[in-house]
Protein backbone atom coordinates (compact mmCIF):
# COMPACT_ATOMS: atom_id res chain seq x y z
CA UNK A 1 0.00 0.00 0.00
CA UNK A 2 1.27 3.47 -0.88
CA UNK A 3 1.27 5.62 2.25
CA UNK A 4 1.53 9.39 2.28
CA UNK A 5 2.04 10.97 5.68
CA UNK A 6 0.77 14.52 5.41
CA UNK A 7 2.14 15.67 8.75
CA UNK A 8 5.65 14.55 9.61
CA UNK A 9 7.48 17.00 11.86
CA UNK A 10 11.16 17.48 11.22
CA UNK A 11 12.69 18.62 14.49
CA UNK A 12 15.86 20.39 15.33
CA UNK A 13 17.71 20.24 18.62
CA UNK A 14 18.16 24.01 18.63
CA UNK A 15 16.92 26.83 16.43
CA UNK A 16 20.56 27.91 16.05
CA UNK A 17 20.62 25.64 12.98
CA UNK A 18 19.01 28.60 11.19
CA UNK A 19 21.95 30.94 11.78
CA UNK A 20 23.71 30.18 8.47
CA UNK A 21 20.48 30.97 6.63
CA UNK A 22 19.98 34.40 8.14
CA UNK A 23 21.86 37.55 7.30
CA UNK A 24 22.12 41.22 8.17
CA UNK A 25 19.86 42.63 10.80
CA UNK A 26 17.78 39.45 11.01
CA UNK A 27 20.79 37.35 11.90
CA UNK A 28 21.79 39.95 14.44
CA UNK A 29 18.33 39.93 16.01
CA UNK A 30 18.19 36.14 15.95
CA UNK A 31 21.47 35.80 17.82
CA UNK A 32 21.26 38.81 20.10
CA UNK A 33 17.56 39.31 20.52
CA UNK A 34 15.12 38.28 23.18
CA UNK A 35 13.68 34.81 22.91
CA UNK A 36 10.54 33.62 24.59
CA UNK A 37 11.53 29.99 25.10
CA UNK A 38 14.63 28.26 26.41
CA UNK A 39 18.06 29.13 25.06
CA UNK A 40 18.19 28.30 21.37
CA UNK A 41 14.43 28.47 20.98
CA UNK A 42 12.81 29.90 17.92
CA UNK A 43 11.39 33.39 18.55
CA UNK A 44 7.63 33.52 18.82
CA UNK A 45 4.88 35.28 20.74
CA UNK A 46 4.19 32.78 23.45
CA UNK A 47 0.80 31.16 23.85
CA UNK A 48 -1.02 31.53 27.14
CA UNK A 49 -1.14 27.78 27.85
CA UNK A 50 1.62 25.21 27.80
CA UNK A 51 2.04 21.48 27.47
CA UNK A 52 2.68 19.95 30.90
CA UNK A 53 4.80 17.09 29.55
CA UNK A 54 6.43 18.51 26.40
CA UNK A 55 5.03 18.01 22.90
CA UNK A 56 7.23 15.13 21.83
CA UNK A 57 6.87 11.40 22.24
CA UNK A 58 9.05 10.11 25.07
CA UNK A 59 10.63 7.36 23.02
CA UNK A 60 12.06 9.96 20.63
CA UNK A 61 15.09 11.41 22.37
CA UNK A 62 17.72 12.87 20.07
CA UNK A 63 21.15 13.40 21.60
CA UNK A 64 22.78 15.09 18.64
CA UNK A 65 21.30 16.98 15.68
CA UNK A 66 21.65 14.03 13.28
CA UNK A 67 19.46 11.89 15.55
CA UNK A 68 16.40 13.89 14.56
CA UNK A 69 16.40 12.20 11.17
CA UNK A 70 17.85 8.84 12.17
CA UNK A 71 15.23 8.27 14.86
CA UNK A 72 12.45 9.36 12.49
CA UNK A 73 13.71 6.92 9.87
CA UNK A 74 13.90 4.06 12.34
CA UNK A 75 10.75 4.62 14.38
CA UNK A 76 8.49 5.97 11.67
CA UNK A 77 9.48 5.97 7.98
CA UNK A 78 10.97 2.47 7.80
CA UNK A 79 8.83 0.92 10.50
CA UNK A 80 5.56 1.74 8.73
CA UNK A 81 6.88 1.74 5.16
CA UNK A 82 5.90 5.36 4.58
CA UNK A 83 6.00 6.14 0.83
CA UNK A 84 6.07 9.92 1.12
CA UNK A 85 6.38 12.06 4.23
CA UNK A 86 5.47 15.70 3.89
CA UNK A 87 7.65 17.69 6.27
CA UNK A 88 5.78 20.23 8.35
CA UNK A 89 8.62 21.59 10.48
CA UNK A 90 7.64 22.51 13.98
CA UNK A 91 8.50 25.83 15.58
CA UNK A 92 8.72 27.80 12.30
CA UNK A 93 4.97 28.09 11.83
CA UNK A 94 4.96 29.98 15.13
CA UNK A 95 6.58 32.87 13.26
CA UNK A 96 2.96 33.82 12.52
CA UNK A 97 2.62 34.99 16.13
CA UNK A 98 5.20 37.80 15.82
CA UNK A 99 4.07 41.38 15.44
CA UNK A 100 7.08 42.23 13.27
CA UNK A 101 6.13 40.80 9.86
CA UNK A 102 9.55 41.53 8.35
CA UNK A 103 11.40 39.52 10.97
CA UNK A 104 8.78 36.76 10.77
CA UNK A 105 9.21 36.54 7.01
CA UNK A 106 13.00 36.42 7.33
CA UNK A 107 12.69 33.58 9.85
CA UNK A 108 10.44 31.43 7.67
CA UNK A 109 12.63 32.08 4.61
CA UNK A 110 15.64 30.91 6.59
CA UNK A 111 13.72 27.84 7.70
CA UNK A 112 12.65 27.04 4.14
CA UNK A 113 16.24 27.24 2.89
CA UNK A 114 17.42 25.10 5.81
CA UNK A 115 14.70 22.56 5.01
CA UNK A 116 15.72 22.42 1.34
CA UNK A 117 19.44 22.15 2.08
CA UNK A 118 19.46 19.96 5.16
CA UNK A 119 16.28 17.87 5.22
CA UNK A 120 15.12 17.09 1.69
CA UNK A 121 18.48 15.53 0.69
CA UNK A 122 18.36 13.15 3.66
CA UNK A 123 15.64 10.93 2.23
CA UNK A 124 13.99 10.58 -1.16
CA UNK A 125 10.66 10.03 0.62
CA UNK A 126 10.59 13.60 1.89
CA UNK A 127 8.52 16.36 0.34
CA UNK A 128 8.70 19.87 1.81
CA UNK A 129 6.35 22.67 2.82
CA UNK A 130 6.91 26.33 2.02
CA UNK A 131 6.26 27.81 5.45
CA UNK A 132 4.91 31.34 5.31
CA UNK A 133 4.34 34.11 7.82
CA UNK A 134 0.81 35.12 6.83
CA UNK A 135 0.66 38.38 8.78
CA UNK A 136 2.03 40.16 5.72
CA UNK A 137 0.40 38.44 2.72
CA UNK A 138 2.55 40.32 0.19
CA UNK A 139 5.75 39.02 1.75
CA UNK A 140 4.19 35.57 2.06
CA UNK A 141 3.26 35.60 -1.62
CA UNK A 142 6.82 36.61 -2.52
CA UNK A 143 8.15 33.64 -0.55
CA UNK A 144 5.71 31.31 -2.32
CA UNK A 145 6.91 32.60 -5.70
CA UNK A 146 10.57 32.41 -4.63
CA UNK A 147 10.36 28.68 -3.94
CA UNK A 148 7.19 27.67 -5.73
CA UNK A 149 8.93 25.94 -8.63
CA UNK A 150 10.96 23.64 -6.39
CA UNK A 151 9.98 20.11 -7.47
CA UNK A 152 9.93 18.76 -3.93
CA UNK A 153 7.81 21.46 -2.36
CA UNK A 154 4.38 19.89 -1.84
CA UNK A 155 2.41 22.70 -0.26
CA UNK A 156 2.31 26.17 1.25
CA UNK A 157 1.97 25.97 5.02
CA UNK A 158 0.71 28.48 7.58
CA UNK A 159 -0.39 28.18 11.18
CA UNK A 160 -4.01 27.67 12.12
CA UNK A 161 -3.77 30.66 14.45
CA UNK A 162 -4.13 33.88 12.47
CA UNK A 163 -5.16 37.50 12.89
CA UNK A 164 -8.22 37.07 10.68
CA UNK A 165 -10.09 34.08 9.25
CA UNK A 166 -8.19 32.95 6.17
CA UNK A 167 -10.95 33.66 3.64
CA UNK A 168 -10.60 37.39 4.28
CA UNK A 169 -9.56 39.25 1.10
CA UNK A 170 -6.55 40.48 3.08
CA UNK A 171 -5.04 37.03 2.49
CA UNK A 172 -5.93 36.65 -1.17
CA UNK A 173 -2.42 37.49 -2.41
CA UNK A 174 -1.37 34.22 -0.75
CA UNK A 175 -3.93 32.18 -2.69
CA UNK A 176 -3.13 33.97 -5.90
CA UNK A 177 0.50 32.92 -5.48
CA UNK A 178 -0.51 29.35 -4.53
CA UNK A 179 -2.61 29.10 -7.67
CA UNK A 180 0.17 30.54 -9.77
CA UNK A 181 2.72 27.94 -8.64
CA UNK A 182 0.15 25.14 -8.39
CA UNK A 183 0.45 24.29 -4.70
CA UNK A 184 -2.24 23.65 -2.07
CA UNK A 185 -2.63 25.97 0.90
CA UNK A 186 -2.41 24.08 4.19
CA UNK A 187 -2.85 25.19 7.76
CA UNK A 188 -1.53 23.29 10.76
CA UNK A 189 -2.62 23.50 14.34
CA UNK A 190 -0.51 26.07 16.16
CA UNK A 191 0.30 29.74 16.06
CA UNK A 192 -2.12 30.49 18.86
CA UNK A 193 -0.56 33.34 20.80
CA UNK A 194 1.18 36.61 20.18
CA UNK A 195 -0.72 38.67 17.62
CA UNK A 196 -3.05 35.71 17.00
CA UNK A 197 -4.50 36.35 20.43
CA UNK A 198 -8.02 35.20 19.67
CA UNK A 199 -7.13 31.51 19.85
CA UNK A 200 -10.69 30.54 20.67
CA UNK A 201 -13.77 32.67 20.80
CA UNK A 202 -14.26 33.46 24.52
CA UNK A 203 -10.61 34.09 25.45
CA UNK A 204 -7.48 32.03 25.95
CA UNK A 205 -8.02 28.70 27.68
CA UNK A 206 -6.11 27.53 30.73
CA UNK A 207 -4.94 23.96 30.42
CA UNK A 208 -3.28 22.16 27.56
CA UNK A 209 -5.67 19.24 27.20
CA UNK A 210 -8.65 21.56 27.48
CA UNK A 211 -7.20 23.75 24.75
CA UNK A 212 -6.07 20.96 22.46
CA UNK A 213 -9.51 19.35 22.57
CA UNK A 214 -11.26 22.47 21.26
CA UNK A 215 -8.66 23.96 18.94
CA UNK A 216 -10.84 23.06 16.00
CA UNK A 217 -12.91 26.16 16.80
CA UNK A 218 -10.58 28.29 14.71
CA UNK A 219 -10.56 25.63 11.97
CA UNK A 220 -14.34 26.01 11.76
CA UNK A 221 -13.88 29.75 11.26
CA UNK A 222 -11.34 29.20 8.50
CA UNK A 223 -13.54 26.73 6.60
CA UNK A 224 -16.57 29.02 6.77
CA UNK A 225 -14.50 32.05 5.82
CA UNK A 226 -12.69 30.42 2.88
CA UNK A 227 -16.00 29.28 1.42
CA UNK A 228 -17.99 32.45 2.15
CA UNK A 229 -15.42 34.85 0.72
CA UNK A 230 -15.45 32.92 -2.53
CA UNK A 231 -11.83 31.76 -2.45
CA UNK A 232 -12.85 28.61 -4.32
CA UNK A 233 -14.73 30.58 -6.98
CA UNK A 234 -11.68 32.76 -7.61
CA UNK A 235 -9.29 29.78 -7.56
CA UNK A 236 -11.38 26.69 -8.33
CA UNK A 237 -8.36 24.36 -8.44
CA UNK A 238 -6.97 25.45 -5.07
CA UNK A 239 -6.88 22.79 -2.38
CA UNK A 240 -7.19 23.93 1.23
CA UNK A 241 -5.80 21.32 3.64
CA UNK A 242 -6.52 21.38 7.36
CA UNK A 243 -3.87 19.50 9.32
CA UNK A 244 -4.48 18.40 12.88
CA UNK A 245 -7.71 20.33 13.22
CA UNK A 246 -10.04 17.43 14.08
CA UNK A 247 -12.69 15.82 11.93
CA UNK A 248 -15.96 15.14 13.70
CA UNK A 249 -17.07 18.77 13.63
CA UNK A 250 -16.93 18.95 9.84
CA UNK A 251 -20.39 17.56 8.94
CA UNK A 252 -22.18 19.65 11.57
CA UNK A 253 -20.56 22.88 10.40
CA UNK A 254 -21.26 22.07 6.74
CA UNK A 255 -24.89 21.25 7.54
CA UNK A 256 -25.25 24.62 9.25
CA UNK A 257 -23.46 26.47 6.48
CA UNK A 258 -25.67 24.88 3.82
CA UNK A 259 -28.87 25.62 5.73
CA UNK A 260 -28.00 29.25 6.44
CA UNK A 261 -26.67 29.88 2.95
CA UNK A 262 -29.95 28.66 1.45
CA UNK A 263 -31.77 31.33 3.43
CA UNK A 264 -29.26 34.16 3.14
CA UNK A 265 -27.39 33.63 -0.10
CA UNK A 266 -27.85 37.30 -0.97
CA UNK A 267 -25.01 38.16 1.42
CA UNK A 268 -22.50 36.31 -0.75
CA UNK A 269 -23.84 36.49 -4.30
CA UNK A 270 -20.52 35.32 -5.77
CA UNK A 271 -21.09 31.74 -4.62
CA UNK A 272 -22.45 29.27 -7.18
CA UNK A 273 -22.58 26.09 -5.13
CA UNK A 274 -23.60 25.01 -1.65
CA UNK A 275 -20.87 25.40 1.00
CA UNK A 276 -20.68 21.62 1.39
CA UNK A 277 -20.06 21.27 -2.34
CA UNK A 278 -17.09 23.65 -2.19
CA UNK A 279 -15.82 21.73 0.80
CA UNK A 280 -16.14 18.41 -1.00
CA UNK A 281 -14.30 19.78 -4.03
CA UNK A 282 -11.60 21.95 -2.49
CA UNK A 283 -11.04 21.12 1.19
CA UNK A 284 -9.23 18.13 2.65
CA UNK A 285 -8.80 17.14 6.29
CA UNK A 286 -5.94 15.24 7.86
CA UNK A 287 -6.81 12.32 10.08
CA UNK A 288 -4.63 13.04 13.06
CA UNK A 289 -5.96 13.20 15.69
CA UNK A 290 -9.10 11.26 14.83
CA UNK A 291 -11.70 11.55 17.55
CA UNK A 292 -11.96 8.48 19.75
CA UNK A 293 -15.56 7.74 20.78
CA UNK A 294 -16.02 4.59 22.85
CA UNK A 295 -18.14 3.19 20.01
CA UNK A 296 -16.15 3.57 16.80
CA UNK A 297 -19.34 3.30 14.73
CA UNK A 298 -20.31 6.73 16.00
CA UNK A 299 -17.16 8.15 14.43
CA UNK A 300 -17.59 6.21 11.22
CA UNK A 301 -21.13 7.55 10.74
CA UNK A 302 -19.68 11.06 10.87
CA UNK A 303 -16.83 10.24 8.51
CA UNK A 304 -19.41 8.81 6.11
CA UNK A 305 -21.39 12.07 6.29
CA UNK A 306 -18.37 14.09 5.14
CA UNK A 307 -17.46 11.62 2.40
CA UNK A 308 -14.37 10.76 4.38
CA UNK A 309 -13.38 8.07 1.93
CA UNK A 310 -12.51 10.88 -0.48
CA UNK A 311 -11.81 13.86 1.78
CA UNK A 312 -9.48 12.44 4.43
CA UNK A 313 -5.69 12.40 4.21
CA UNK A 314 -3.55 10.29 6.52
CA UNK A 315 -1.33 12.16 8.97
CA UNK A 316 0.81 10.72 11.75
CA UNK A 317 1.92 13.92 13.51
CA UNK A 318 5.26 12.22 14.19
CA UNK A 319 6.82 12.67 16.77
CA UNK A 320 4.23 14.53 18.77
CA UNK A 321 2.60 13.14 21.86
CA UNK A 322 -0.69 12.38 20.10
CA UNK A 323 0.98 10.44 17.26
CA UNK A 324 -1.16 8.02 15.23
CA UNK A 325 0.41 5.03 13.55
CA UNK A 326 -0.76 3.58 10.27
CA UNK A 327 -1.91 0.29 11.74
CA UNK A 328 -4.23 1.61 14.42
CA UNK A 329 -5.99 4.27 12.38
CA UNK A 330 -9.70 3.91 13.15
CA UNK A 331 -11.21 4.20 9.69
CA UNK A 332 -13.32 1.69 7.76
CA UNK A 333 -10.90 -0.95 6.39
CA UNK A 334 -12.14 -0.56 2.80
CA UNK A 335 -11.11 3.11 2.86
CA UNK A 336 -7.50 2.50 3.78
CA UNK A 337 -6.03 2.59 0.29
CA UNK A 338 -7.57 5.98 -0.46
CA UNK A 339 -7.14 7.64 2.91
CA UNK A 340 -3.60 6.39 3.54
CA UNK A 341 -2.26 7.41 0.17
CA UNK A 342 -4.37 7.73 -2.95
CA UNK A 343 -6.36 10.81 -1.86
CA UNK A 344 -3.10 12.65 -1.25
CA UNK A 345 -2.09 12.18 -4.88
CA UNK A 346 -5.02 14.38 -5.98
CA UNK A 347 -3.90 17.16 -3.64
CA UNK A 348 -0.13 16.90 -3.74
CA UNK A 349 0.53 16.80 -7.45
CA UNK A 350 4.30 16.82 -7.12
CA UNK A 351 4.45 13.43 -5.44
CA UNK A 352 6.30 11.33 -8.04
CA UNK A 353 3.74 9.13 -9.78
CA UNK A 354 6.07 6.22 -10.58
CA UNK A 355 6.97 5.98 -6.89
CA UNK A 356 3.26 5.87 -6.03
CA UNK A 357 2.36 3.38 -8.76
CA UNK A 358 5.18 1.02 -7.82
CA UNK A 359 4.09 0.88 -4.19
CA UNK A 360 0.32 0.84 -4.69
Contacts with other proteins, residue ranges (CB under 8 A): 53, 57-59, 321-325, 327-328
Given the complex with other proteins, which of 180 and 325 has the nearer CB atom? 325
Residue 306 DSSP class: T
Query: Which residues, including other chains, have CB under 8 Å from residue 212's CB and lie 6 or more apart?
Result: 322
Given the complex with other proteins, which of 119 and 318 has the nearer CB atom? 318
State in angstroms the smallest separation of the CB of 320 from other proteins. Answer: 9
44 phi-psi bin (left φ>0, alpha ψ -120 to 50, beta other)? beta
State in angstroms the smallest separation of the CB of 293 from other proteins. Answer: 14
The answer to whether 114 touches 128, Cβ cutoff 8 Å, is no
The answer to whether 26 touches 104, Cβ cutoff 8 Å, is no
Angle, vertex CA 322, rays to CA 128 and CA 301, nearest 5: 95
State in angstroms the smallest separation of the CB of 253 from other proteins. Answer: 27
The answer to whether 93 touches 1, Cβ cutoff 8 Å, is no
State in angstroms the smallest separation of the CB of 59 from other proteins. Answer: 4
Angle, vertex CA 198, rays to CA 18 and CA 141, nearest 5: 45
Given the complex with other proteins, which of 29 and 326 has the nearer CB atom? 326
Query: Which residues, including other chains, have CB under 8 Å from residue 70's CB and lie 6 or more apart?
Result: none
Given the complex with other proteins, which of 61 and 256 has the nearer CB atom? 61
Given the complex with other proteins, which of 135 and 286 has the nearer CB atom? 286
State in angstroms the smallest separation of the CB of 198 from other proteins. Answer: 26
Positive or negative torsion for Cα 116, 119, 124, 128: negative
Given the complex with other proteins, which of 195 and 299 has the nearer CB atom? 299
State in angstroms the smallest separation of the CB of 196 from other proteins. Answer: 26
Given the complex with other proteins, which of 21 and 318 has the nearer CB atom? 318
State in angstroms the smallest separation of the CB of 71 from other proteins. Answer: 12
* Start-to-end C-alpha separation, the chain: 5
Cβ atoms within 10 Å of 7's Cβ, excluding its own: 28
The answer to whether 26 touches 107, Cβ cutoff 8 Å, is yes
Amino acid sequence: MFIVDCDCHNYWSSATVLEPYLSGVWKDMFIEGEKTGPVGAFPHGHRPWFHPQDFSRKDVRPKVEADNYLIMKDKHLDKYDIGVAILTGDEPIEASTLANPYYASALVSAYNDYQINEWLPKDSRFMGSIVIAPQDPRLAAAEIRRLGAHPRMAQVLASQGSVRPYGDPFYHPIFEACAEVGLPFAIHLGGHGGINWNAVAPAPTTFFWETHAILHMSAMSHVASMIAHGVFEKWPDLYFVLIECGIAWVPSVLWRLDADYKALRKETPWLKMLPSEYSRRNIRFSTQPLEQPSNVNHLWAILEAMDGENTLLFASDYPHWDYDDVNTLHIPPEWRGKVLGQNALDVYKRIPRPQAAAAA
